[in-house]
Amino acid sequence: MATKRLRFPYSVKRGSSQVKIYHYKRPLKSVRGRKSIHNDEFTVAYYLGSKRKRKTYSTFDKALTFAEIKAAELSRGEVDAVMFSGRDRLAYGQAIEILKPAKVDLTIAALEYAQAKKILGGYSIGEASRYFMRHHSEELIPKPVKDVVNEIIQKKTKAGLSDVYLADLRYRLGQFAEDIVCKINQISSDQIELWLEGLDLSARSHNNHLRTLNTLFNFAKTRKYLSKDYNPLEGVLARKQKAKSVPVFTPKELARLLNCAADNHLEYLPCLALGAFAGFRQSEIVRLSWEDIERIPGYVEAEASETKTQRRRLVEIKPALAKWLALSPRQSLKVWPHSRHYLNEVRGENAEQAKVKWKDNGLRHTWVSCRLAETESADKTALEAGNSPQMVFRNYRELRTPPQAKAWFSVEPAGSGKIVSIRQSKSA
């Protein structure tokens, strides 16, 4: 959710209850004397009786999830006992005491009970539990969600999976473990649906969360933390994603970007060229070394540990790429010896100076579409790109014509060969 479009304090109302979210920016440090970096903080504030309670989160989504849950609790009177009659207050207190040994939140218990009654019909939950214990010999190990998340991240890290994948896993599962505090075998599909709704995700992000949770639950089953016959995601539907146009650059835009980098950001030049003429992702470029470029004459070799898909790739070094790389300084073993954050910063400055609107993943998209037009082979292009042939054919077919592909791969430094200077190129 874009916080810039929101007005703070942001109010979450349920009935007569109201919870507010405040947004603060805490200055951290300046980067290379240019900009001051701020850390966003979101504070949830509400009243419990006469006392004001506050809780701070690093993201708006997390703060919103907590605020909605808290507002619902206040509205139902689960917290503000003064709203209860004497008998209701006694029943509430007894329910809390009964649940203490089980360490289950009252809201979770209510959701599970309602779901169980719906499934069982006229049978009691006690009868169903006794039947289950008689007919299922599988002994589950009770494990909190947080512990299972830590275990799977440790396992994936030891397996040597990419930093990008691990960062995504930590983000999604870390968020889940922070918000869902219970044993993993106590999670219900209703609970997951409520949690996902509270995040206010796009269709794509919603589906990515589902895939990540499915990975978590499958892992839990292998460790006997979750029954093999139980799927907490049953009934939680994926969302239909709208087809998006694939952003691409023109040869003119590429020429301006490359010339600007050659004149003002020479250290950034090889990163730009590798993305434009070899289709490497930015996450892969920051892991590439000059040895990867020189090891096999005529090819860039990306080892499995350096790629997103964890598969070795060989990409042909086109004449244009070779000439731009020849202009690039080699002051380190790494193609880009700095942080990914600084690469983003330089990339933005270069695009602004070149007067080219930056398109996220645009260089890679353009390369794939041009390479497909050039080779007329989805299989060959997919092998070089590290994608499936189906994805390449579906997303990039007819996006660029062979003449347009030729114009793209002809963007060379001025005076480097038979090609007309890119500063004077009229290619569309």
One DSSP character per residue, 60-87 reads HHHHHHHHHHHHHHHHHTSS-GGGS-HH
The continuous run of DSSP H or E covering 315 comes out as strand 313-316
Residue 320's pLDDT is 94
19 has a pLDDT exceeding 80: yes
> Does the model's pTM come out above 0.75?
no
- For the chain, what's the residue count? 428
416 has a pLDDT exceeding 80: no
Model pLDDT for residues 26-70, shown as the tens digit of each residue: 765 554 555 555 678 899 998 876 678 899 998 898 899 888 888
Band of pLDDT at residue 211, cut at 50, 70 and 90: very high
Model pLDDT for residues 256-306, shown as the tens digit of each residue: 999 999 999 999 999 999 999 998 888 888 888 999 888 899 998 877 454
Strands (E), 109-189: none
Give me the residue label for tokens 């589902």. 210
417 has a pLDDT exceeding 50: no
Which DSSP letter does residue 215 get? H
CA distance 324 to 259: 10
Domain with CATH 1.10.150.130 in the chain: 130-242
- Domain 130-242: give its CATH code: 1.10.150.130
Residue 420's pLDDT is 33
Q: Which residues pair with 299 in a beta bridge?
A: 316
80 has a pLDDT exceeding 50: no
135 has a pLDDT exceeding 60: no
137 has a pLDDT exceeding 70: no
On average, the pLDDT of the chain sits at 81
Q: Which two tokens stand for residue 116?
A: 């169980």
DSSP H helices in 159-235: 163-179, 189-199, 203-222
Task: Give the CA distances from residue 74 to residues 83, 182, 267, in Å, rounded to whole numbers and listed in that order.
Answer: 10, 21, 56
Band of pLDDT at residue 1, cut at 50, 70 and 90: low
Buried b (16+ CB within 10 A) or exposed e, 199-232: bebeeeebbebbebbeebbebbbeeebbeeeeeb
418 has a pLDDT exceeding 70: no
- What average pLDDT does the segment 86-102 reach? 74
Peptide bond into 270 cis (omega under 30): no
CA distance 425 to 123: 78
Residue 388 CA from chain centroid, whole number = 20
CATH 3.40.50.1100, applies to 251-408: no
Phi and psi at residue 391, in whole multiples of 5°? -65, -45
Q: Which two tokens stand for residue 185?
A: 């075998």
Of 96-110, 175-189, 218-232, 315-329, the poorest mean pLDDT is in 96-110
CA distance 334 to 284: 12
CA distance 398 to 249: 15
Q: Which two tokens stand for residue 311?
A: 């598969």
Could you tell me whether strands 313-316 and 51-57 are parallel, antiparallel, or unpaired per DSSP bridges? Answer: unpaired
- What average pLDDT does the segment 336-360 reach? 91
Express the helix, strand and coil content of the chain in percent, nearest 5 each. Answer: 55, 10, 35
Band of pLDDT at residue 403, cut at 50, 70 and 90: very high
Domain with CATH 1.10.443.10 in the chain: 251-408
Considering just the CA atoms, what is the radius of gyration of the chain in Å? 28
244 has a pLDDT exceeding 50: yes
CB 40 within 8 A of CB 3: yes
Give me the residue label for tokens 């139980």. 230
Residue 84's pLDDT is 55
Buried b (16+ CB within 10 A) or exposed e, 73-83: bbbbbbbeeee
- In this predicted model, which residue has the larger pLDDT, 276 or 124? 276
